[in-house]
Amino acid sequence: MPPILPDFSSSVKLKYVKLGYQYLVNHIITLTLIPIMIGVTIELIRLGPNEILNLWNSLNLNLVQILCSSFLVIFIATVYFMSKPRTIYLVDYACFKPPVTCRVPFATFMEHSRLILKDNPKSVEFQMRILERSGLGEETCLPPSIHYIPPKPTMESARGEAELVIFSAMDSLFEKTGLKPKDIDILIVNCSLFSPTPSLSAMVINKYKLRSNIKSFNLSGMGCSAGLISIDLARDLLQVHPNSNAVVVSTEIITPNYYQGKERAMLLPNCLFRMGGAAIMLSNRTTEKRRSKYRLVHVVRTHKGGDDKAYKCVYEEEDREGKVGISLQKDLMAIAGEALKSNITTMGPLVLPASEQLLFLITLIGRKIFNPKWKPYIPDFKQAFEHFCIHAGGRAVIDELQKNLQLSTEHVEASRMTLHRFGNTSSSSLWYELNYIESKGRMKKGDRVWQIAFGSGFKCNSAVWKCNRSIKTPIDGPWADCIDRYPVHIPEIVKL
């Protein structure tokens, strides 16, 4: 029997070679400057103080030249610091925890489906198959109006859900931060599918009697990635309004959007979307730096709306019976993959260390010049981030990103557990995931977090945060009463 060759790909020595390469490339400037500084120091010591003084005197500088040089240095420094973007701090945030009375176990969901769709057993069976493979748990929640048979999606009940979710999150944020309503300078509310008049932002202003000169915005129709669009908008506003506080509220109101028809593509959201919301306080005040949790580093937005398939892959429309619902097309994951590829192409140069960028560049040149069949190099984003918050849109979304980004089970744990405990809460899911990481005591000072979200249109948006301080395990919040049970094993199929 011929001798078996060692597996060089998993060799310990190869691992150290890679680590050495990463250290060398990532610290090339430091490693170059150190010998130069040592050489200069040795030369200065060799010359001695008299030679250095003679060299200085030989320059023949007069007072005017010194003053002009000093003025130039001060002018350049002033221009630099005035043009430097303001630092945006995430002071704190709060997530809505639905009441236990809104809980929808699998048995309850399927019983309601059988009663509502009693004339269409195939649709009931389809929903059961989706639920079995969804990755959701038994504690996800739907608003009270959906618990009726048949559901009662009235305007009054939709407003009631909005008030419950938004006001609960806002009250919790005020309690955690000590923020007073009159201290809010900017308010942004995003809710994709429920856009009443007056707007939800006006509802918040009325409830808390906010100032008359507040800058308020209400974003609708922008899908599950609207939360990061709101963060981006808040960042831009805080750049031009100094010494200001901004509050962002991200939610999705389920009540008016629960589909009661028979189209399978429209029944899918019923199985995945659940109640949820979050309120986030941002500030550009330097006084908030000390107590803030995170600092915003980057926001990258990608929009594929120019492509017809991408535009229509998540589409609100009427079915053949005139019932309105959200249609999810089969090519959704392929389109999401293309959007992600475009997004990380922009994000990569901003966050990846030089070692990863160099390997990617070498591979790209090799494929262009030598052999197009070379396997493309996928950058190791684990070198750039300690934590990943992937939008909990569904099991397939998390699986696809874990595969494409080559992430470990622990890296996607927060996303999978959020989907299991709370379901797809749309734009607010990223904040439940961040709170999961904090509740596990894993967030340390200097850690970098990558939030990735997808939304109709089709959009892929991402944000990068850097932790300002080691965060103590919170004693309250949505995970407070269940974090000890997580992570849990989620089977591929839960037989109902």
Ordered by where they begin, the domains of the chain are 88-469 (3.40.47.10)
Judge whether 326 and 314 are in contact, CB under 8 Å: yes
Confirm if 433 and 224 have CB atoms less than 8 A apart.
Answer: no
Rounded Cα distance between 230 and 246, Å, is: 10
Q: What is the token pair recorded at 84?
A: 């430097």
Q: Report the pLDDT value the prediction gives residue 26, as an integer from 0 to 100.
A: 63
In this structure, the strands spanning 215-219 and 324-328 are unpaired
Structural tokens at position 81: 């610091």
Cα 245–chain centre separation: 21
3-class secondary structure per residue, 108-176: HHHHHHHHHCCCCHHHHHHHHHHHHCCCCCCCCECCHHHHCCCCCCCHHHHHHHHHHHHHHHHHHHHHH
Tens digits of per-residue pLDDT, 249-281? 999 999 999 998 888 899 999 999 999 999 999
pLDDT < 50 positions in the chain: 1-12
Query: Which pLDDT score, from 0 to 100, does residue 366 have?
Result: 79
- Its pTM stands at 0.86
Q: How far apart are CA 93 and CA 477, in angstroms?
A: 10
- Name, in order, each residue with C-beta under 8 angstroms of 440's C-beta and a sequence gap of 6 or more: 473, 483
pLDDT digits (tens, 9 = 90+) for 438-462: 999 999 999 999 999 999 989 999 9
CA 139 to chain centre: 24
Alpha-carbon distance 144 to 158, whole Å? 10
CB 419, CB 136: distance < 8 Å: yes
The neighbour count for residue 309, using CB atoms within 10 Å, is 14
- CA-to-CA distance for 132 and 179, rounded, in angstroms? 43
Of 399, 391, 485, give the one whose Cα is nearest residue 434: 391
For residues 139 and 478, give the distance between their C-alpha atoms in angstroms, rounded to a whole number.
12
Angle CA 261–153–106, to nearest 5: 65
Which residue do the tokens 């809980």 mark?
A: 103
Q: Could you give the CA distance from residue 383 to residue 21 in angstroms, rounded to a whole number?
A: 13
Active site members: 224, 303, 387, 391, 420, 424
Q: Specify which residues 251 forms β-bridges with.
A: 277
Distance separating alpha carbons of residues 200 and 189, to the nearest angstrom? 7
Torsion of CA 228, 231, 232, 238, to 10 degrees: 180
Do 411 and 436 touch, CB atoms closer than 8 A?
no
